Amino acid sequence: MNSSQQSRLLLTSRATWADAEARALRRKVETGEVSRLRRGVMQPKVEPLGSLPWDQRPHEARQRYLDRAVAVGETRRRDVVFSHVTALAILGLPILDLWPSAIDILEPVTSARRSKRGVVVHRSEFDADDLLEWEGFYVTNVARTIADLARDGDAMSTVVALDHALGPRAVPAQAVTKDEVRALVDAQGRWGRARAFELIDFADARSGSPGESGSRVLFSELGFEVPELQVRHHLPDGRFYDSDFKWKRSRSGRPLIGEFDGLGKYLKEEYLSGMSSGQAVVKEKRREDALRALDGSDFMRWGMPELRRPVLLRALANQHGVPRAPRRPK
Domain interval for residue 33:
5-205
Q: Indicate the DSSP class of residue 224.
A: B
Our count of domains for the chain comes to: 2
Residue 22 has pLDDT above 60, yes or no: no
CA 327 – CA 330 distance, rounded (Å): 9
Residue 271 has pLDDT above 80, yes or no: no
> Looking at residue 258, what is its pLDDT?
96
> Looking at residue 4, what is its pLDDT?
62
What is the dihedral angle through the alpha carbons of 208, 213, 215, 220, rounded to the nearest 10 degrees?
130
Same domain for 185 and 230, yes or no, is: no
CA 317 – CA 178 distance, rounded (Å): 30
pLDDT tens track for 126-158? 999 999 999 889 999 999 999 999 999 999 999
Same domain for 260 and 161, yes or no, is: no
Q: Decide if 326 is inside a domain.
A: no
Question: Is 104 buried (19+), middle (13-18) or exposed (0-12) by CB count in 10 A?
Answer: buried
Domain boundary at 169, 189, 205, which? 205
CB atoms within 10 A of CB 290: 16
- Tell which wins on pLDDT, 253 or 78: 253
Confidence of residue 20 (pLDDT cuts 50, 70, 90): low
> Looking at residue 287, what is its pLDDT?
83
Residues of the chain with pLDDT > 70: what percent?
84
Confidence of residue 12 (pLDDT cuts 50, 70, 90): low
Same domain for 239 and 223, yes or no, is: yes
> Looking at residue 1, what is its pLDDT?
45
Question: Is 172 buried (19+), middle (13-18) or exposed (0-12) by CB count in 10 A?
Answer: exposed
Mean pLDDT of 88-109: 96
Mean pLDDT of 92-96: 97
Q: Decide if 91 is inside a domain.
A: yes
Rounded to 5°, the CA angle 92-95-96 comes to: 150
Q: What is the chain's Cα-based Rg?
A: 23
Mean pLDDT of 250-274: 75
